[in-house]
A = this chain, B = another copy of it.
Amino acid sequence: MQEDRCLVSCIHEDVIQKITGVSEPNEYLERLAQLFKVLGDPTRVRIIYALMQHELCVCDLAHILQMSQSSISHQLRLLRQNQIVKKRREGKIMFYTLADDFVTKLFVLGMEHVRNETYKEYK
């Protein structure tokens, strides 16, 4: 925690008042963080990217990503719980698709940024 002296010298109370006023309910910010967190893993990104192209079964995904069926299944569960993907059974096979097109929008937007990055600079 910051000390008391800090309160006197550096905090810009006026600005803080203004910000606190417009503050988004913390619950939404929490959920937003959770959403990005789910998207913030290479395996899950690759799963989502594959599903952006076509509906796929667990086995296909394991084959495409060259990973175990178990780990793919674990990740799909997470994606399901967060309503990123949904599944449909056809006999023994489970087919997965994106739950809606909003993730695609996020991906397109994020990809734009990532493509324009030059290199990670560290100031």
Chain A residues near B (Cβ < 8 Å): 1-2, 6-7, 10-12, 15-16, 18-20, 22-24, 26, 28-42, 44-46, 49-50, 53-54, 56-57, 59-60, 62-64, 66-69, 80-83, 86-87, 92-93, 102, 105-107, 109-115, 117, 120-123
Contact across chains for A68 and B117 when beta carbons are under 8 A apart:
no
In the complex, chain B residues whose CB is within 8 Å of the CB of A42? 29-30, 33
Main secondary structure of the interface of A (DSSP, over half): helix
Q: How far is the CA of A18 from the CA of B64 in the complex (A)?
A: 11
In the complex, 21 of the A-B residue pairs with CB atoms within 8 angstroms, ordered by the A residue number, are A6-B59, A6-B69, A10-B92, A11-B59, A12-B56, A15-B54, A18-B53, A19-B53, A28-B115, A29-B45, A29-B46, A32-B45, A35-B110, A35-B113, A40-B40, A80-B122, A80-B123, A86-B123, A102-B112, A106-B110, A109-B109
